[in-house]
Each structure stands twice: as C-alpha cells, then as structure tokens.
Chains A and B, each alone.
Chain A
Amino acid sequence: MEPMIQFAVRRIFSAIPVLFAVIFVTFVLARIIPGDPCKSILGEKATQQVCEKFTRDFGLDKPIPVQFGIYMGRILQGDLGNSIRFGRPITLMLAERLPLTTELGLSAMILAIIVGIPAGIISALRRNSAVDVTTMVGANVGVSMPIFFLGLLLIYFFAVILKDTPFSLPPSGRLSPGVSSRPFFEVFDWGITRDSPNYTFYRYIASHYMFNSLITRDFVTLWDAIKHMILPATALSTIPLSIIARMTRSSMLEVLDKEYVRTAYAKGLQDRTVIMRHAFRSALLPVVTITGLQLGGVLGGAVLTETIFGLSGVGLSLFEAITSRDFPVIQGFTLIITVIYVFFNLVVDLSYAYLDPRIRLD
C-alpha cells in the first residue's frame, strides 16, 4: 500500500495549484467584465455612497495582488458574498440548491453505470448480433442527442402523451404541490433554528430530499422525489450512458481475445465466472477512466437539465444569475461547481491508481 499512499499524497498536492488557479480565474472574471466593477457587481442602481463603501470593503482601491489576497481570504473563510438579486448569502443558497444537483448528478451517473456497463458487456459477448447492433445504434444516437432536446422529448412523451395514464411522470419541480420534505432536524427535534451556529450545514444535509425523506422514513415524499427525478436523470444520463456502453464493449472485446480468458474457459470455469472475474475486471480500467471524464459533462449538462425541468439546483441558479447579471452568484457557483469537478477528478485518478498498480509507479 506504500506506493499507493505516496501517489495519493502527490496527486492531492498537485490539485492545490489547480484550485488556486481556478479561484484566480473566477477572480479575473470579475475584473475583465467591462465597466465599473461596483456597478457590475451591485447592479446599475448602486449609488455613489454604496459604491464607495463597496470599493473600500472589497479593497478595490488597492493594488490587484492585494485585491486577490482579499478575495482569497474571503473564500477561505467560506464567504462567497451575497446575491444581488436575493440579498442572501451565497453559501446559504448553495446549501439549499447544491443538494438537488448532487442528487440529480448522482442519479444520472448511477443510471448511466448500471445500464451502460451491462449493455456494453452483452454487446461484446454477442458481437454483431441484433442486441449489439441495437445497443450501438442507440449509443450513437444517445451521444448525438442534445440534452435540452431529449429533456423536452421526455416531457412531451411522459407528461403530454402519457398524461392521465399510470406511466405519466411530472415534467417539472422537485416535489408535487402539497408534498413537502420536513428537515430531519425538525422531525427528530434537534432544536436547530435559523440562528443555530451550524444551521447552513444542517440545512444543506436536509436539502437532499431523497436522503432526508429516507432517514425520516417519510416514504410518500421519497417516492414523490424519485418520481420527479426520473425524467431529468434520464435526460442527463444518456450521453454518459452511451459513452460508457461503447467503452465497455470495446474494452471487453479487446480482453475477450486474450489468452488468459481462453485459458479460463479451457479450465472449464463457468461463463459467468470467466466474464466477471477474468474479463470484466481487466476491462474495467478504461471504463473507470471514461466514467470519470463524464463528470464534467454531467455538471455542465445540469445547467441545461435543471433549466428544462424547472429544478432550482446550482445549474438553474447559475443560468438565472447569468440572465439577471447577478455577478457574485455567477462567480460563487462557478467556483463551487469547478471545485467539485476538480475533487472528483482527483477521486477518479486515485481510483485508477488503486485499480491499476502500474500507474502508481510512474
């Protein structure tokens, strides 16, 4: 395990400059917007007086490196500023909205993996059969389908054509009207109020509606939340699903030709054992790599998916912030999404170092 730990430490340290650079870029974003930074951050209506205070508070009268230091200091203290439009702390907005995106992204990735990998394996085992051709045609169409169009198609099919049938699914929102997710800290009477020191954190946890309704055993809400998640998660999952299926297929095809697989068959092992233990295991690495690479697409796609399905996660908030030029929100949310992305890339790197010992030695 020694080299693994060494690799992990090295890889974690190499992510730090990337994070700094990302923070720097979001800082620069604010500086290259044409016009008065105060006006572009606080809005056109900001008065002279407010602007002077703002300039002083943010140190905009100081040299650029000092400004960056101040910006950095604020971020490290967990202060991302306030939204212009809502006048609320961005961290609190994130606590409320990030969980939706997390649940959406996770559902989409899980769907992509549990459908994509078996589809790829079956395609590889029955090469050129009807199943294989159908899967590969489906995968090609899947990667070519814009998320925003697929989402609307799903809405059209499940909420318009199948309306009033048992298969109809809600086209928008997180929960049906009348259904609400009671935070676990209220259900369990933990006595946490808006003024409690860690309110934002508890709020964040409780805003994972699926998780929250599961631990509070509120199955009506859980089912409702799942039903609302099916269409958006499906729309978001098609591209990664198609790519994972294709990669699994080609990776399996390569491995199935190898001599040790033939040996395993020759030993009289069951097909199942050969496929799962011998073939799939060594075919897994490129699949993990490609799955990791899909995360960026899923995070970007969340903007489109949430916009179409009216889900107020970080994606939709970011889009609304852009249309209303709510600058601190754009900055803060871009930063958070990117930090999540960098973090997951790190996890993926570590996971393939774990799966493939050769990588650690590089």
Chain B
Amino acid sequence: MLCVEGLQRPGLGPISLHIDDGECLALMGPSGAGKTLLLRAIADLDPNTGRAAAAGQARADTPAPDWRRLVAYLPAEPGWWADGVAEHFADRPAALPLLAALGLDAGCLEWAVARASTGERQRLALARGLAGDPAVLLLDEPTAALDPDAAVAVEELIRQRQQAGVSVLLVTHRAEQAERLASRTLHIRAGRLVEGGGS
C-alpha cells in the first residue's frame, strides 16, 4: 500500500494518490510534466513537503534509508558506482533467480558495467532494486531501452511482484503497457494530476 497526500515541491503538486496492495497504477504524461519529479519526491530524494506512508509506515517517522528500502525507486537511467557488475549486488546468490527471470545469464555478474548495453543495464538495475524485496515499486520507464522479449520478461516480473502484494507506480509512455499492467492510469501535466484515462 502506498498513500501520498499533498506532496509538493517546486514544479510539482500538490499531489495525492493511493495504491492498494498488489495494485499497479500507471502514470502518463508528456516529457517534462513532472513524472520523474513525482517519483523522486515520493522516494524523498529531493526536498519536498507533504505526507506519505507505505506498508503501514509513515514516511515522517521512518529514517530515509529505511524508507527507500521499503519504497524502491528505479530511475530511467540507473547509476553505477563501481566498474564491475558484481560490486553492485550486496547478496549475489539471492540475485541469481532475478537475473534469470529477466533473461540475463548468470555470468553477467562477472561483467564490467561498461560492457553491458543500455537495456542490459536497465535490467541489472531492476534486479538490484528488487533484491531487497521492497513493498512498493516506483518504476520510471522500466522497459524503455528493452527489446520486445526483454520487455515481456520485465512485465512478467512486475506482475509476479503484484501478486505477492507489492504496490507499483509505473511511469510509461506506452498506453498498451499501462493497459496490460495497470488497473488505473493517472495523467500528469505541468506538475499536476489531471482527469483522463481509466477510473
């Protein structure tokens, strides 16, 4: 469960939304409308005001590192702080099934990050973020750089997480992807949610 109330920062909001356990909410809007700003604000990565709660825990009462483990934000362009892929995974054996589910072979842990393609990096980052079993996923165009097969694998993984009770906020440019995964679609324009799309 993710509950956001009156979330606000320069260029965004106030925004309120609610996502149930196991629900996927799609967020669509033109470039620069504030989709990424909203995800960053929920993850508390930029200064913002307003309330948020996830899995029964209020953000204000949760230390920020714990909050971000609970509410995992996966940026469209993931960051890497070491040369090797393996250094980015705290628990490598636990990551293996995730990597396999995303169509990456087990040897990818031995790669250098620079060797991986954009799409491979996006999937590696997804596995990295999911490894900690977050209760809420904030996904910023998780399939943007992927070929169709890989995109199917990612969508399947998202669906599995939903069935396990994870709430998902999905930023996407593809209306058909929103239809496949989400029960509702919200539209954002100039930093505000606007009417349109599903219920």
Query: Are A and B part of the same complex?
Result: no
Q: Which residues of A contact B (CB under 8 A)?
A: none
